[in-house]
Amino acid sequence: MQLQRIKHGTPSGKVIEALEEDGAVIVEDALGRDQLDLLEREISQRLVQTPNCEGRFHGYATKRIGGMIGKSEVCRQMALDRTVLDIMDHFLLPNCARYQINLTQLIAIGPGEQRQITHADDPLFPFDNPYEIMINVMWAVDDFTKENGGTHLAPGSHKWPRDRQPEDDEIVQAEMPKGSYVVWLGSLRHGGGANDTGSWRRGIVMSYCLGWLRQSENQYLAIPVETVRTFPERLQELVGYRVHEPNLGMVDGEDPLHWIRDGVKPEFPAFKDHLPEEMNDLLRQYYEGR
C-alpha cells in the first residue's frame, strides 16, 4: 500500500481523483529553491526562540508556531497554491458559500519525539458530518522520511465507519522531498511520526475548512490587522475578512472586506443584508408580490 505521488503542475483533476480514492495524496516539488531559502530565513530564528509544546496531543519534544500566514511570505504563497485551491473548490465549495483558512501551523517534530496518537482532524467540529468539512495540506520544509517523523496516514480510512481505527499494516508514512506537500481529508486517520533521528522534521500545515465553521485558530488575533491589509484580496477573504452569506461574520452590518480595504470602519454605517442570490429572490417575490 502506497500513497499516490503526483508532480506539482499536473492538472488538478488527477490530484482530486487520488484524494477521492485514498483520502490522501502527495504532490511533489511545489516549492522552488528560492522559496525554500526564503522560508528557511523566515522560520529558523523563530524556531530557536520557541519552546517545546506542552500537551499529550501536541507533543513534548515538538515545537509548533501558529499564525504562519502572518509571519511568512512563502506561507502566503503556499495558501494560494493553484492545485490546493482547486482541491478546496472541489471538496469544500459544494457545502459553503466560501471556504476559509482553519489554521496555519509550523510543526517541528524534535529528536526523540514519540509517535502521535492516530486521529482524524474533523472531530474538532462536533457534529456528524456527511461530507468533508476540513482539509489539511502539510508542506515539507525538510525531507520527510520514515525515521524523522514523516506523517502516518491510513489510505482509504475516510471511507471507514467512524469507530474503526487502522491496524499498523494499514498505515503508510508520507516520505517526500522538501518543497512537496501531502494533502489529507479531515476524516482520514493519521498522526505525526516518531522522530528517531538527531534533527528536526519541520513541516507547515495549511488547513482549510467550510466558511460557516469556527476557525481552529483565531485569525483576527493571530495576524496583525496591518499585516492583513497588505494581503491580496483573495487572501484577506481566505483568512476570514469576508461575510459568509447569509449574514455570518458581519461588522455593524458591513462586510469586513470593505473595512479592511478602506482602512476605516464607518462610525454609523447603514446595516445591510448579506444574502445568497436565492434568498434575495425569495425576499423580492415576497415583498413585491404582496
Ligand X SMILES: O=C(O)CCC(=O)C(=O)O
Among ligand X, Fe ion, none, the one that 151 touches (CB under a kind-dependent 5 to 8 A) is ligand X
Amino acid identity, position 20: E
**Residue 107 binds ligand X (CB under 6 A):** yes
**Closer CB to ligand X, 191 or 256, in the complex:** 191
Question: Quick one: three-class SS letters along the chain?
Answer: CCCCEEECCCCHHHHHHHHHHHCEEEEECCCCHHHHHHHHHHHHHHHHHCCCCCECCCECCEEEECCHHHHCHHHHHHHCCHHHHHHHHHHCHHHCCCEEEEEEEEEEECCCCCCCCCECCHHHCCCCCCCCCEEEEEEECCCECCCCCCCEECCCHHHCCCCCCCCHHHCEECCECCCCEEEEECCCCEECCCCCCCCCEEEEEEEEEECCCCCCCCHHHHCCHHHHHCCCHHHHHHHCCCCECCCECCECCECHHHHHHHCCCCCCCCCCCCCCHHHHHHHHHHHHCC
As measured in angstroms, the least distance from the Cβ of 286 to ligand X is 46
184 vs 231, beta carbon nearer ligand X:
184
Phi, psi (degrees; rounded to nearest 5) at 12: -60, -25
Q: Closer CB to ligand X, residue 72 or residue 116?
A: 116
Question: Cβ 288 to ligand X, closest distance in Å?
Answer: 51
Which residue lies nearer to ligand X by CB, 71 or 189?
189
Total residues at the site for ligand X (CB under 6 A)?
10
Q: Which stretch binds ligand X (CB under 6 A): 47-55, 190-198, 214-222, 278-286?
A: 190-198
Stretch that binds ligand X, among 39-47, 184-192, 213-221, 228-236 (CB under 6 A): 184-192
**Segment 195 to 224, residues that bind ligand X, using CB under 6 A:** 203
Return the residue of 81, 121, 132, 142 that touches ligand X, per CB under 6 A. Answer: 121
Out of ligand X, Fe ion, none, which partner does residue 192 contact, by CB within 5 to 8 A per kind?
ligand X
Torsion angle of C-alpha atoms 60, 65, 67, 71, degrees rounded to 10: 180
- Piece of 42-50, 68-76, 188-196, 217-225 that binds ligand X (CB under 6 A): 188-196
By rule CB under 5 A, what string of x and - marks binding of each residue 111-130 to Fe ion? ----------x---------
The 131-170 site mask, x for binding ligand X (CB under 6 A), equals -------x------------x-------------------
Nearest distance, CB of residue 174 and Fe ion, angstroms? 12
Which of 68/138 has CB closer to ligand X? 138
Q: Closer CB to ligand X, residue 33 or residue 214?
A: 214
The C-alpha cell at 279 is 434568498
How far is Cα 96 from Cα 30, in angstroms, rounded to an integer?
27
Q: What residues line the site for ligand X (CB under 6 A)? A: 107, 109, 116, 121, 138, 151, 190-192, 203
Q: What residues line the site for Fe ion (CB under 5 A)? A: 121
